[in-house]
Amino acid sequence: MAVAKTDSSTRVRIFSSEDALLKQARAIHERVITLDTHIDFAPGDLVGEQNYTQRLDTQFNLPNMIDGGLDGLFFVVYVGQTRETQNPEALKTQGYERAYRAAVEKFDAVHRFTRDIAPDKIELALNVADVHRINLQGKKIALIGVENGYPLGEDIARVKEFYDRGARYLSLAHNGHNQLADSHTGERDGWKWNGLSPLGKQVIGEMNRLGIMVDVSHASKESVMQTARLSKAPLIASHSAVRALCDVSRNLDDEQLLALKQTGGVLQVVAYGGFVKTRKPDSPDRAAALAALRRTFDLANPNDPRERGRFHAALKQLSDNQRAEYETKLAEIDTEHPGDPPAAVKDFIDHIDYAVNLIGVDHVGISSDFDGGGGIIGWNDAGETFNVTLELVRRGYTEAQIEKLWSGNLLRVMDEVERIARNLQK
Ligand SMILES: [Zn+2]
């Protein structure tokens, strides 16, 4: 496999001016297919009265997607893991059925949105040929990934059912161990299977046979390494970053990245602040000043992923005067008690650079995790997608490389997974 090695000496380009750089980046952004492999959603945002055809207070919606020049996305059928410690029924029929119904509701929402609600603007793609056809028609491209194999229960036939419902990737685990595999959370909580369960191994075989990409994001290191050895098709990590740069268990270390590359797969680097940058904690003075400011304006805590959506929504509700007052007070706190700045696009592209240098530009891609906790300064909603391309151009990536990063690599893997499935079915 041809792996383009890049280093700073060959990638540096001198631009005559910022204008020329902007112009070139805009042209590249326009020409390549930009595909984000991980966007969460609530079914109501797709099929409710207020839905993604409108500019909702969500990071992703169609107006934002159009503004940002984002061409395609994987809508993520995510079902959270119920832990056995909280609910002894979690890995029994009752728990599985609840999870299954939640997954089906999400599949159905994507189908209704693309088929009935916005068929003139976006269409569901089931293979790489669909992706190119829909793009040429000038429509946005929707694909479906499944986050967490939990709703499969212990019924192997459901892998085929999910494929038929449009799933083209499926992650074995989420946070917390399930019936298929250990989760990265075992680094804190201990292990259940020491990698994959016997059923998990069967499910991987079935995914290979059907043509569903195996997603190792959220899995434990041992699960990832076993999956890399077992899978007959390339793997993806649909939304993970580089552990060498940000040491959290959700990220992949060098050994895992090299194993992913060995399979021919791709790391879709995620723009999730907490996985991109380990921030130094706020000083007690700063934390107290920020908490007091939030109380004054009745705001949630934006540093808590579960509260971030509410924080942004409440911020938008402030009157112009209130907003100005809030910004002034925030600037005063930043001057008096400066904090470590949150992750920004530059930090995110540092992860891409690192991965490209380690495993090659053919094995790296891009994902946001919007509306699931993702978002960084400069790429905090789909409307800001151009900033990613701009920073790649600034660092000297060529158009061919940017095309690979934005979709070429992922679509190559998807094509390969389809081809292997056809062979296995013979
Ligand atoms: Zn996730």
pLDDT, one tens digit per residue, over 199-236 is 999 999 999 999 999 999 999 999 999 999 999 999 99
Residue 13: pLDDT over 90: no
Residue 11: pLDDT over 70: no
| pTM exceeds 0.75 | yes
For residue 100, report the distance from its CA to the centre of ligand 1, in Å.
18
For residue 192, report the distance from its CA to the centre of ligand 1, in Å.
20
Closest by CA position to 372, among listed 106, 164, 115: 106
For residue 218, report the distance from its CA to the centre of ligand 1, in Å.
7
Residues 6 or more apart whose CB falls under 8 angstroms from that of 191 comprise: 177, 182, 220, 222
For residue 305, report the distance from its CA to the centre of ligand 1, in Å.
12
For residue 150, report the distance from its CA to the centre of ligand 1, in Å.
14
Residue 117: pLDDT over 90: yes
Instruction: For residue range 25-55, list pLDDT tens digits in order.
Output: 999 999 999 999 999 999 999 999 999 999 9
Instruction: For residue range 244-296, list pLDDT tens digits in order.
Output: 999 999 999 999 999 999 999 999 999 999 999 999 999 999 999 999 999 99
For residue 74, report the distance from its CA to the centre of ligand 1, in Å.
13
For residue 272, report the distance from its CA to the centre of ligand 1, in Å.
10
For residue 38, report the distance from its CA to the centre of ligand 1, in Å.
8
Contact 167, 212 (CB under 8 A): yes
For residue 239, report the distance from its CA to the centre of ligand 1, in Å.
7
Residues 6 or more apart whose CB falls under 8 angstroms from that of 118 comprise: 52, 53, 62
Residue 7: pLDDT over 60: no
For residue 247, report the distance from its CA to the centre of ligand 1, in Å.
17
Cα angle vertex 217, ends 72, 55, to 5°? Answer: 35
For residue 423, report the distance from its CA to the centre of ligand 1, in Å.
31
Range 125-149 average pLDDT: 98
For residue 395, report the distance from its CA to the centre of ligand 1, in Å.
28
Instruction: For residue range 403-420, list pLDDT tens digits in order.
Output: 999 999 999 999 999 999
Give the whole-angstrom CA distance, residue 101 versus residue 198. Answer: 24
For residue 80, report the distance from its CA to the centre of ligand 1, in Å.
9
